[in-house]
Chain A
Amino acid sequence: QKEVEQNSGPLSVPEGAIASLNCTYSDRGSQSFFWYRQYSGKSPELIMSIYSNGDKEDGRFTAQLNKASQYVSLLIRDSQPSDSATYLCAVRSGGYNKLIFGAGTRLAVHP
């Protein structure tokens, strides 16, 4: 069973701080990794994709991938109350076409 694990939270951070979200996966053959943001009652929105080890930065977001340790993380700098949402980690395994989603981490940014 291919699994993606996330801490359900809530992760509470003050406005302006760095929020760090973590995700581990079980399939060592996984090739593609994604972070989605989902507001309550809405569908997921793609934030970042990462395919190789290291960091990938896009604005206030940085995705980090370590395939040897089988974890992927998302850093949100200068967190804003509008960043409050559930963040879903998704992994695509090498032999599978479908995405495997984690249960999501709820982030709360308080003023």
Chain B
Amino acid sequence: GAVVSQHPSRVICKSGTSVKIECRSLDFQATTMFWYRQFPKKSLMLMATSNEGSKATYEQGVEKDKFLINHASLTLSTLTVTSAHPEDSSFYICSAEGGGGNTEAFFGQGTRLTVV
């Protein structure tokens, strides 16, 4: 399968600071990337859909000003959690798809964010 790299895998930050998470498709061009959040023992919650060169589409209830998404190129999307608070602590996962009829989605390793 295709390789999606997510970085960092784990981050601890102070309340009020911002954290940037990167998602890269290493061996294919990702026309679409998705950002998910997962709470312990729960399923994936889609936060937003990111298309290269256009604004992200956020799911209902997700604050776009708090979770900034940038899809600057066909291989890179970033999620910035701004003014982080302890309730933002979670497991954040990106996925990428190549499009062009290949509809399989491949996931990054995930980022464990802890806000203290």
**Interface size in chain B (residues, C-beta < 8 A):** 21
**Interface size in chain A (residues, C-beta < 8 A):** 21
Sample of 12 more A-B contacts, CB < 8 Å, known A42-B109, A88-B43: A42-B110, A43-B6, A43-B93, A46-B1, A46-B104, A46-B106, A88-B44, A92-B103, A98-B49, A99-B105, A101-B44, A104-B43
By secondary structure, the A interface counts as: strand
A97 to B32 CA separation, bound complex (whole angstroms) = 9
Given A43-B108, A92-B103: A97 touches B43 (CB 8 Å cut-off): no
Contact of B107 with A by CB under 8 A: yes
Contact of B34 with A by CB under 8 A: yes
Closest A-chain residue to B109, C-beta based?
Answer: A43
| Total A-B residue contacts, Cβ distance less than 8 Å | 45
A46 to B106 CA separation, bound complex (whole angstroms) = 7
Contact of A44 with B by CB under 8 A: yes
Closest B-chain residue to A4, C-beta based?
Answer: B43
Contact of A45 with B by CB under 8 A: yes
Chain A min CB distance to B59 (Å): 9
